Amino acid sequence: MLGLILLLMATPPKVKPPVPPVTIAPATVGAYAPVSRFAPELRTPFRTAVAAITPARNPGAKLLAAERQVVAGTNYRLKLKLRDGSSWQAVVWHRLDGRFEVTETARLD
């Protein structure tokens, strides 16, 4: 028993390597911030934007980039590419009552 205690005392403790500090850019109030294209919260804004841009049932739209802005609700600024090769930007407002409204669309090419 004494040998086990001495062995444990002689073994140096495992030291974890230091974790580098995380640097986060300071947030600007009211500014757009990037959102992952794969974020589940983008499903409805994406569908809403595509429906506003084209009446096609299956336009083959692809989400290229997304940003979020917190206002009285949330604005989502989305960059999209359709199957026909056209690129679009749309702003979809998620209102406080839960509805989605397209407030801007612009063709980028």
pLDDT digits (tens, 9 = 90+) for 21-31: 655 555 566 89
Average pLDDT over residues 73-79: 96
**pLDDT of 99 over the 80 cut:** yes
* Residue 22: per-residue pLDDT: 52
Per-residue confidence band for 3, with pLDDT thresholds at 50, 70 and 90: low
pLDDT in tens, 5-57: 665 566 566 667 776 665 555 556 689 999 999 999 999 999 999 999 988 88
**Using CA atoms, how far apart are residues 29 and 107, in angstroms rounded to an integer?**
28
| Per-residue pLDDT at 94 | 96
| Confidence (pLDDT) at 2 | 65
Q: How confident is the model at residue 105 (pLDDT cuts 50, 70, 90)?
A: very high
Reduced DSSP (H G I as helix, E B as strand, rest coil) percent helix, strand, coil of the chain, to 5: 20, 35, 45
Q: The sheet that has 33-35: what strands, in order across it?
A: 33-35, 62-71, 73-81, 87-94, 100-107
Q: What angle do CA 88, 92, 93 make, to 5 degrees?
A: 160
CATH fold group of domain 32-107: Nuclear Transport Factor 2; Chain: A, (3.10.450)
- Contact, 33 vs 67, CB < 8 A? yes
Amino acid type, 65 = A
Tokens of 6: 């001495």
Chain centroid to Cα 67, Å, comes to: 7
